[in-house]
Amino acid sequence: PLAIFTAVFYFIFAWFREQVCVIACPYGRLQGVLLDTKSVVVAYDYKRGEGTNGRKKFRKNEDRNTLGHGDCIDCFQCVNVCPTGIDIRNGTQLECVNCTACIDECDHIMESINLPKGLIRYASEENIKTNKPFKLTARMKGYVAVLTILIGILTGMLFLRNEVEANVLRLPGQLYEHKDNNIISNVFTY
């Protein structure tokens, strides 16, 4: 059984890792159902990144604003670091696990070319479109209320559970046990 579990987990972590996020993980499915345009997610600021004429590779001493190009230099680093291989610039996707590797990498690139950070950041679709600050909606308040109730129930169940008592005793009549390769082992009962 140990060899089987080892082989299965090696297969999952070595090759099947990205497919597990897409096929088996319920997080992405729930995310798709629970999100709306006001939900804060890992998002690409397409207004700032695309400009009026879209993305363009970076060239030194080029005035991107005059040419109408956005801050995204189309370096694909956000795609390269993504564990599920998605392009966050295409919008929120089922495969995104909110690891924020794309945020870190994009901020690093923006710093290196002297542009402001935050091209990829935690934001809502509405925040990017209208530039309005985050506001707690009725839906979010409902989620907070449900989560608070569930945490309260869990806490109550932990405090109301039966006490468990265990006695750990050395096996009567035997101080220790000799095993192969000169290993000495203690034997206990509980």
pLDDT (tens digit per residue) in 74-122: 899 999 999 888 999 998 887 788 889 999 999 999 999 889 999 999 9
- Do 55 and 126 lie in a common domain? yes
- CA 114, CA 16: separation in Å to the nearest integer? 38
Contacts of 23 (CB under 8 A, 6+ apart): none
Residue 25 domain boundaries: 1-34
Neighbouring C-beta atoms of residue 76, cutoff 10 Å: 11
pLDDT (tens digit per residue) in 144-186: 999 999 999 999 999 998 888 888 888 787 778 888 888 888 8
Give the chain's domain count.
Answer: 3
- DSSP-assigned beta bridge partners for residue 42: 122
CB 27, CB 96: distance < 8 Å: no
- Do 43 and 119 lie in a common domain? yes
- Do 159 and 143 lie in a common domain? yes
